[in-house]
Amino acid sequence: MRIALEVWRQRSPEEPGRFVRYETTEASPDMSLLELLDVINEGLVSEGEEPIAFDSDCREGICGTCGFMVNGLAHGPLQGAATCQVYLRSFRDGETLFLEPFRAHAFPLIKDLVINRSALDRIITAGGYVSVNTGNAPEANTSTIPKDLAEQAMDAAACIACGACIAACPNASAALFTGAKITHLGKLPEGQPERGRRALRMVRAAAAEGFGHCTFAGECETACPKSIPLQVITQMNHDYLAARLRGEGRATARHIEPGTPKKRR
Amino acid sequence: MATRVELGMTGVAKKALMAVSGIVLTVYVVLHLAGNLLYFAGPAALDAYGALLHKNPALLWSARAVLFASFCIHVAAALDLYMRKQVARPISYGRYERAASSLGARTMIWTGLILLGFVVYHVLHLTLGITHPAYVPGRVYSNVSVAFASVVPTVIYVVSMIALGLHVSHGVLAMTQSLGLTLRRDRLRGLRRFSVVLALIVALGLAAIPITALALSFARGR
Ligand code: HEM
Ligand code: SF4
Ligand code: FES
């Protein structure tokens, strides 16, 4: 199988990048796209050239480490699959594939197809947790969870923080990612005490990182390797606006110095 | 970090403003359509409807004020968010495909800008009569008939109503999620259909008036 790659090569954030063409006849339909990059890299190394830098770890769609644009689509042409799950049988013989890093202001490029996604970690730090008492584990049936809520929480919890939703979004919005985290925790009893604060803090953190706004175009849902549904965004907006309207975090005590006279004399 | 954002507004809050102003505009468009369809009931009905609207100036002007404010908020937020798009992705893709966006979703800012131009033209044309060849206040039916006896205004109106249809087809859907209203997937599907049907009704209904007026003027043999 003949495959040509147009790969974004950029040695460092400071230097300009460009597409470089690599042609190969060593491709086979059963090969994964990342394996093809491995083969091309071996060739580059043996010729003393710099290999193409790209991220990957599990190579079975569960860790969220891999990810770049393939022909303009985040994680390539298949729904419910990460870049590492794209096989060459999805492409025509002789096809040219454009490989480009995920692009967003909040995802600074490190090298070639590798970007820094720690902005997502900072959004999690802002509110992606629940506070629980330490000590003995509580009895398992003390808080029961309706089946529907458990399903929705679990669906949202499937997010592997790959960043494809941001990459695919025309506005580079992190709404699907942030919404997934907010829904995952906010649907469960343990997540209730911090629900409003969590929505406010995570949405603000996403804005502070420089992610865009959501226009509900739906690209993220299609790009997501875990098929996280768009409703998590609605849930995020709901929780955020409810917290804003409730005046979450603005409750102030009525402080009167004891001994203050009741009537002004 | 968090304090800096607290001073401004997040995109979620801005989109909520857009949604609320969008609802006001959409409700207005639907009412406007309902009233304007009286065109098909003949001159007496349409002129009586026009007179009814002008009967209570206080009510008329408060409605106009709410509409104007909503329009300004909507446009200001739209332009602000559109500018931010470039900030959120300063380096654009060499190749970028949209796999899921509807035609309406892809063209929101452009159909919106067409509507902005249209609203200004429309007010000058049929409300104030400044760009109208023979405007007579109160004679609504004849004003409409004269205005659309020529091709150019008719084309402008029809193109704008296509833009309105596209805008509403995505807007009605988007606004419900901006406000956090559609939390169930099955409802989302129904809502998608509802938005398209509403958009079709509004666009076809409003475009039918200038088209009919032009056809009638041709039939009368200009
Ligand atoms: C008759 C006039 C108009 C109606 C009925 C209307 C209606 C709507 C509605 C219902 C929304 C959804 C709000 C949301 O996403 O939460 C919307 C969004 C939007 N409108 Fe309008 N609008 C009108 C005029 C305009 C104008 C003049 C502009 C000009 C710039 C504009 C630009 C936009 C943009 C950019 C969006 C956001 C699109 C998105 O989120 O994908 N609209 N509009
Ligand atoms: S929501 Fe989906 S696309 Fe976005 S980071 Fe999580 S797994 Fe990746
Ligand atoms: S390498 Fe782990 S998801 Fe692709």
Confidence grade of residue A134 (pLDDT, cut at 50, 70, 90): confident
Does residue A89 sit in the same domain as residue A150? no
What is the Cα–Cα distance from A105 to B89, expressed in whole angstroms?
5
Q: What is the pLDDT of residues A63-107, one digit of tens each?
A: 999 999 999 999 999 999 999 999 999 999 999 999 999 999 999
Does residue A39 sit in the same domain as residue A83? yes
Question: Inter-chain contact A237–B177, Cβ cutoff 8 Å?
Answer: yes
Number of domain units in chain A:
2
Q: How far is B17 from chain A (nearest CA, A)?
A: 11
Q: How far is B211 from chain A (nearest CA, A)?
A: 32
Q: Report the percent of chain B where pLDDT is more than 70.
A: 96
Strands A114-115 and A109-111: what pairing?
antiparallel
Q: Which atom of ligand 2 is nearest to the CA of A223?
A: 3
Mean pLDDT over residues B31-60, rounded? 94
Does residue A208 sit in the same domain as residue A222? yes
Domain that holds residue B80: 9-89+101-221
Mean pLDDT over residues A133-149, rounded? 86
Q: Which atom of ligand 1 is nearest to the CA of B179?
A: 16
Does residue A124 sit in the same domain as residue A91? no
Question: B74 to each of A66, A101, A196, how far by Cα in Å?
Answer: 39, 34, 27
Q: Which atom of ligand 1 is nearest to the CA of B15?
A: 16
B221 pLDDT above the threshold of 80 = no
* Residue B182: predicted pLDDT: 82
Does residue A106 sit in the same domain as residue A148? no
Protein residue with least CA distance to atom 1, ligand 2: A177
* Residue A118: predicted pLDDT: 97
B195 pLDDT above the threshold of 50 = yes
Question: Inter-chain contact B180–A172, Cβ cutoff 8 Å?
Answer: no
Supply the CATH number for residue A51's domain.
3.10.20.30
Confidence grade of residue A9 (pLDDT, cut at 50, 70, 90): very high
> Which residues of chain B lie closer than 8 angstroms to A106, CB-CB?
88
Answer yes or no: is A263 within a domain: no
Answer yes or no: is A149 within a domain: yes
* Residue A264: predicted pLDDT: 84
* Residue A140: predicted pLDDT: 80
- The ligand 3 site (C-beta within 6 Å) comprises A 56-59, 61-66, 82-84
What is the Cα–Cα distance from B197 to B168, expressed in whole angstroms?
10
* Residue B108: predicted pLDDT: 97
Domain that holds residue A189: 117-130+144-246
The SS3 call for residue B166 is helix
Pick A231's closest partner by Cβ from B87, B92, B188.
B188
Averaged pLDDT of chain B:
92
Q: How far is B64 from chain A (nearest CA, A)?
A: 27
* Residue A105: predicted pLDDT: 97
* Residue A8: predicted pLDDT: 98
* Residue B2: predicted pLDDT: 39
In this structure, chain B runs to a length of: 222
Answer yes or no: is A259 within a domain: no
Does residue A96 sit in the same domain as residue A156? no
> Which residues of chain A lie closer than 8 angstroms to B174, CB-CB?
215-216
Averaged pLDDT of chain A:
95
Say how many Å lie between the CA of residue B143 and the centre of ligand 1: 29
The SS3 call for residue A120 is helix
Pick B14's closest partner by Cβ from A106, A213, A239.
A213
Does residue A162 sit in the same domain as residue A239? yes
Supply the CATH number for residue A160's domain.
1.10.1060.10
- Entry pTM: 0.92
Confidence grade of residue B4 (pLDDT, cut at 50, 70, 90): very low
B3 pLDDT above the threshold of 70 = no
Number of domain units in chain B:
1
- The ligand 2 site (C-beta within 6 Å) comprises A 159-165, 176-177, 180, 223-226, 228
Does residue A74 sit in the same domain as residue A149? no
Token pair 């009368």: residue = B220
Residues 166-185 of A with CB under 8 A from B: 168, 170-173
Dig out the tokens for A93 from the structure. 């013989």
Does residue A86 sit in the same domain as residue A149? no
Of A44-58, A241-255, B38-52, B154-168, the range with the lowest mean pLDDT is A241-255
Does residue A102 sit in the same domain as residue A126? no
Q: Report the percent of chain A where pLDDT is more than 90.
A: 89
Say how many Å lie between the CA of residue B111 and the centre of ligand 1: 8
Do residues B196 and B169 lie in contact, with contact meaning Cβ atoms separated by under 8 Å? yes
> Which residues of chain A lie closer than 8 angstroms to B101, CB-CB?
170, 217-219
> Which residues of chain A lie closer than 8 angstroms to B84, CB-CB?
171, 212-213
Exposed e or buried b per residue across A163-192, where buried means at least 16 C-beta atoms within 10 angstroms of its C-beta: bbbbbbbbbbbbbbbbbbbbbbbbbbeebe
Does residue A101 sit in the same domain as residue A124? no
Does residue A163 sit in the same domain as residue A237? yes
Question: Inter-chain contact B10–A203, Cβ cutoff 8 Å?
Answer: yes
Answer yes or no: is A48 within a domain: yes
Q: What is the pLDDT of residues A29-66, one digit of tens each?
A: 999 999 999 999 999 999 999 999 999 999 999 999 99
B8 pLDDT above the threshold of 80 = no
Of A91-95, B30-34, B140-144, B187-191, the range with the lowest mean pLDDT is B187-191
Confidence grade of residue B5 (pLDDT, cut at 50, 70, 90): very low
A72 closest CA partner among B100, B98, B95: B95
Best of A152, A211, A237 to disrupt the B interface (most B CBs within 10 Å) is A237
A149 pLDDT above the threshold of 80 = yes
Supply the CATH number for residue B181's domain.
1.20.1300.10
